[in-house]
Amino acid sequence: MSATEQRTAALKVEDLEVAYDVRGVLRPVLRGVSFEIQPGEAYGLVGESGCGKSTTAFAAVRYLPGNGHITGGRTLIGGDDVTAMGDEALRELRASRISMVYQDPGQSLNPTIKVGRQVAEAFAVLGASKDEARERAVEALRRVRIADAERVMERYPYQLSGGMQQRAVIAMALACDPQLLILDEPTTGLDATVEAEVLDLVATLRDETGAAILLIAHNLGVVRRTCDRVGVMYAGRIVEEGIAGEVFDDPQHPYTVGLLRCLPRRGAAKSERRLDTIPGSLPLIGTPLPACVFEDRCTLATAECRTVLPTAAHPRPDRTVFCHHLDRVGELVAAPVTAAVGEVAPGDVVLQLEDVSKTFRQGGHEVRALVGVDLELRAGETLGLVGESGSGKTTLAKAILGIHAADQGGVIRLDRETLAGLTTQRPADARRAIQIIFQNPDSALNRSKTVRSILSRALSKLAGLTGQAAEDRLEKIRDEVVLSPRHLDLKPRQLSGGLKQRVAIGNAFAGDPRIVVCDEPTSALDVSVQAAILNLLADLQRDEQASYIVISHDLGVVRYLSDRIAVLYLGRLMEVGDAATVFAGPHHPYTEALLSAVPSVDGDPPARIRLEGEVPSAIDVPSGCVFHTRCPRAIEGTCEASEPPLVEVETGHMMRCHIPIDELRRLQGSDAD
């Protein structure tokens, strides 16, 4: 940063300390955070949930909740001390020089007011006249790449997709031409392809406006793609800081090393290795901490770490790390991965889908959410389902579970027996054979019951166990999902996210299921917790010979768990094959685009494919190959005219595309060069 050293930082945070008043007691959450963002620079903050990322962002602009207090340090925006500012100056600063975008665009938009008026309002408060504000709103929407700005102005927020809403919010945030744009989890909850678009937009806007960006994200790939530098936070301190790519490729702080080792990266698969976890968890708010905040969970910790505050060290150029034992971090990096404990050889076919379709009726239209799906699942095998939102993943899973009945004509067979459409019409055996682990344990566990009563009920209904037999089995399940006995008498809200998900998993496994659907099983969890849950799922599968159907937008997770992958687009299977084959390629053009859209912590391929536009409506499906409207490799004259069949292009590798596999191999090989 030597060239920019002389410039005034867009945001400078110095030794910032923040505490929250919890029932009269000040509980420190930030313990001296310092960092700087230069004009035009993008800075990322990462770390487990609860480490203080959002508090930092709020404190930087003095926008803390009522019980938050800045207890030390200061923040400067463009050289002006925000912490010492009067109310008037602060209002002025917030109105004209900084903007914030939050995770949920729904929260930033008023559902009852047309988008146009809301965006125009952002200009009106800056003093524009009514007409002028409107004009500039249209312009602003164009700037965030909303093609049909005039028409979008007339819509209500709910009439826009999540990605469009987030763009409108960004357009509002840019109204004042901010010097500093703070984005708090701006793409969480968006689809990978939409996320990629929003991130590209942020990058372009940064180039255009020269605004500095503070980006908070729990997804390290997002930070790597968007940010120049990154700060890794732990328990209210930044423990490591440096250039994003370098930090993720060559971490130097024990915490950063641990965090990165939790991730299923670089094509890790359950058959090869277990994931590392970071034992323990983030300290609780208000607990007194040792000098090095990471001491409790650090395997390198010594007596010194408890008492002496680590000072900034610079083991690499452009890198700051706070740790006493930098010389030993290499041990952690080089530590061998834990090998997988035996592999499951897939057994007989348990589940067979033939020509399964699902049509919803909506306002007189037919919505074909699933069209002619043929699939097989073997015992002990994991099938990963991937595709954008609206591609039919959940619809397919629900049809298998019998939550809704598939259309007449298709067949779902369990052990060669044809299953009735709805779970209520299926025999008890079939019902208990197919269970689900939901995405959000808060919703999946009844909050008025204790863990014990939740699990006991599952045992009595699914396994038919009562009395002593049930108690014994309850103990066994508790042990299998690694819960401690005292957890049994707690209610879900008293458990952390990871523990809740363990209860949900125990619940699904109560009746010895043959098939377990995992719908985004870890997307509500932190990476270290995610690693533990993925290990648990792999263990249970090995011990119980269960088959999994895994739905996740995190391709690392899908790849880690899956033996086979099915790619869905607009309710149709586009590609099916072994996980290794599907990820290695040659890929179906849609899979190729999907893989390239997902921001990876390992960095992006040199030539990234940008998938433009949104998934077409399932009411009005494109002609020919349904993907042709967005396919970068579409062959004019062929693809819009006829729909290619799903054919086996190599052994065990099915694809639906007009381009022959060898041609795809050639095309994709040459792009990579």
Partner 1 sequence: MSAVDPTVLEPEPLKDAGAAADRRSARRERLRLLVRNPSAIIGGAILIFWIICAVFGDVIAPYSPFATDFDGHLPPGGTHILGTDQLGRDVLSRVIIGARDVLIAAPICATIGVGLGTLIGLLMGYYRGWLDDGLGRIIEAFLALPVPLVALLTLAALGSSTTTVVLTVGIFFTPIVARTVRAAVLAERENDYVQAAKLRGENGLYIMFREILPNITGPIVVEFTVRIGYAVFTIAFLSFLGVGIQPPTPDWGLMVSEEYALIIGGYWWVTVFPALAIASLVIAVNLVADALQEVNER
Ligand X SMILES: Nc1ncnc2c1ncn2[C@@H]1O[C@H](COP(=O)(O)OP(=O)(O)OP(=O)(O)O)[C@@H](O)[C@H]1O
Near ligand X by CB under 6 A: residue from 9, 30, 301, 369: 369
DSSP designation for 461: I
When asked if residue 389 is in the footprint of ligand X (CB under 6 A), the reply is yes
Neighbour-count burial for 178-189, b at 16+ CB within 10 Å, e otherwise: bbbbbbbbbbbb
Interface residues for ligand X in 609-628 (CB under 6 A)? 618
State the binding partner of 202 from ligand SF4, Mg ion, ligand X, none, CB within 5 to 8 A by kind: none
Nearer to ligand X, 47 or 390 (CB): 390
Could you give the string, one character per residue 279-318, with x where binding to partner 1 holds by CB under 8 A and - elsewhere? xxx--xxx--------------------------------
Q: How is residue 69 annotated by DSSP?
A: E
Among 250, 539, 578, 604, which residue sits at the site for partner 1 (rule: CB under 8 A)? 539
Taking each helix axis from N to C terminus, what angle separates 254-262 and 326-334, rounded to the nearest 10 degrees? 10
Considering CB distances under 5 to 8 angstroms, the limit depending on partner class, which of partner 1, ligand X, Mg ion, none binds residue 566?
Answer: none
By the rule CB under 6 A, 394 interacts with ligand X = yes
Residue 323 lies near ligand SF4 (rule: CB under 6 A): yes
* Residue entry with tokens 């929003």: 198
**659 binds, options partner 1, ligand SF4, Mg ion, none, Cβ within 5 to 8 A by partner type:** ligand SF4
Give the distance, in angstroms, between the CA of residue 98 and the centroid of all CA atoms in the same chain: 27
229-234 and 212-216 strand pairing: unpaired
Out of 498, 506, 556, 586, name the contact with partner 1 by CB under 8 A: 498
Phi and psi for 458 in degrees, rounded to 5?
A: -60, -40
Q: Is 433 in the site for ligand X (CB under 6 A)?
A: no
Residue 182 in the binding site for ligand SF4 (CB under 6 A): no
How far is residue 157's CA from residue 166's CA, in Å, rounded to a whole number?
10
Q: Choose among Mg ion, partner 1, ligand SF4, none what residue 161 binds, the Cβ cut-off being 5 to 8 Å by kind.
A: none
Binding mask 544-583 for ligand SF4 (x = CB under 6 A): ----------------------------------------
Q: Is 360 in the site for ligand X (CB under 6 A)?
A: yes
Which tokens belong to 599?
Answer: 């921001």
What is the rounded CA–CA span in Å between residue 479 and residue 197? 44
Residues touching ligand X: how many (CB under 6 A)?
13
Q: Pull the structure tokens for residue 8.
A: 């005034």
Question: Given the rule CB under 6 A, which of 120-128, 147-155, 389-397, 625-633 is the region that contacts ligand X?
Answer: 389-397
The answer to whether the peptide bond before residue 586 is cis (omega within 30 degrees of 0) is: yes
Q: Which of 438, 548, 583, 627 binds partner 1 (CB under 8 A)?
A: 438
Q: Is the Cβ–Cβ distance between 543 and 477 less than 8 Å?
A: no
Q: Which is nearer to Mg ion, 205 or 383 (CB)?
A: 383
**Binding piece for partner 1, criterion CB under 8 A, among 106-114, 166-174, 187-195, 455-463:** 455-463
Of 259, 499, 527, 568, the residue at the interface with partner 1 (CB under 8 A) is: 499
Q: Which residue has the tokens 């890794």?
A: 232
The least distance separating partner 1 from the CB of residue 341, rounded to whole angstroms, comes to: 5
The Cα–Cα gap between 506 and 622 comes to 43
Residue pointed to by tokens 């500095």: 212
Cβ contact 464:456 at 8 Å: no
Phi, psi of 78 (to 5 degrees): 55, 35
Q: Is residue 402 at the binding interface for partner 1, with CB under 8 A as the rule?
A: yes
Nearer to ligand X by Cβ, of 82 and 367: the residue is 367
Q: Would you state the torsion angle of the CA atoms of residues 298, 301, 303, 307, taken in this order, to the nearest 10 degrees?
A: -60
Cβ count near 645 (within 10 Å): 10
Residues in contact with Mg ion by the rule CB under 5 A? 394
Cα gap 303→291, rounded to integer Å: 10
298 binds ligand X (CB under 6 A): no
Parallel, antiparallel or unpaired: strands 349-362 and 365-378: antiparallel
Nearer to ligand SF4 by Cβ, of 367 and 657: the residue is: 657
x/- map, 217-256, ligand SF4, by CB under 6 A: -------------------------------------x--
Rounded to a whole number, what is the distance in angstroms from the first to the last CA of the chain?
32
- Picking from 30, 112, 40, the residue whose alpha carbon sits closest to that of residue 75 is 30
DSSP, residue by residue, 578-626: EHHHHHHSPPPHHHHHHHHHS--TT---SSPPP--S-PPPTTSPPSSST
Decide: 73 and 33 in contact? Cβ < 8 Å. yes
Q: Where do we find the tokens 């536009």? A: 613
Nearest-CA neighbor of 85 among 101, 100, 97?
Answer: 97
The DSSP symbol for 349 reads E
Applying CB under 6 A, the site for ligand SF4 has a residue count of 26
Shortest gap between Cβ of 484 and partner 1 (angstroms)?
Answer: 5
Q: Which stretch binds ligand X (CB under 6 A): 107-115, 382-390, 495-503, 640-648?
A: 382-390
In the complex, the smallest distance separating the C-beta of residue 29 from ligand SF4, rounded to whole angstroms, is 19
Q: Which of 367, 406, 515, 626 binds ligand X (CB under 6 A)?
A: 367
Looking at 31-39, 143-151, 359-367, 630-638, which segment touches ligand SF4 (CB under 6 A)? 630-638
Strands 319-322, 98-101: pairing is unpaired
Residue 435 site contact among Mg ion, ligand SF4, partner 1, none (CB < 5 to 8 Å, cut-off depends on kind): partner 1
CB of residue 387 vs Mg ion: minimum separation in angstroms? 9
Q: Which stretch in 175-183, 387-395, 453-461, 590-598 sits in contact with ligand X by CB under 6 A?
A: 387-395
At closest approach, how far in Å is the CB of 265 from ligand SF4? 22
Q: Is 522 in the site for ligand X (CB under 6 A)?
A: no
395 binds ligand X (CB under 6 A): yes
Nearer to ligand X, 384 or 387 (CB): 387
Sign of the torsion formed by the C-alpha atoms of 595, 600, 605 and 609: positive
The first and second tokens of residue 540, run together, are 């249970």
Quick check: 567 binds ligand X (CB under 6 A)? no
Taking the least distance from each CB to partner 1, the nearer of 226 and 522 is: 522
The only residue of 73, 105, 387, 410 in contact with ligand X, by rule CB under 6 A: 387
* DSSP per-residue string spanning 243-311: EHHHHHHS--SHHHHHHHHHS--TT--TTTBPPP--SS-PPPTT----SSTTGGG-TT--HHHHHSPPP
CA–CA distance, 664 with 672 (Å, rounded to integer): 12
Q: For residue 136, which of 147, 148, 124 has the smallest C-alpha distance?
A: 124
Residues at the site binding ligand X, with contacts judged by CB under 6 A: 360, 362, 367, 369, 387, 389-395, 618
Residues at the site binding partner 1, with contacts judged by CB under 8 A: 274, 276-281, 284-286, 338, 341, 401-403, 423-424, 428, 431-432, 434-436, 438, 440, 443-449, 457-458, 461-462, 479-480, 482-484, 487, 490, 493-499, 507, 529, 532, 535-536, 539, 543
Residues at the site binding ligand SF4, with contacts judged by CB under 6 A: 254, 292, 294-295, 298, 300-301, 305, 310, 323-325, 589-590, 625, 627-628, 631, 633-635, 639, 644, 657-659
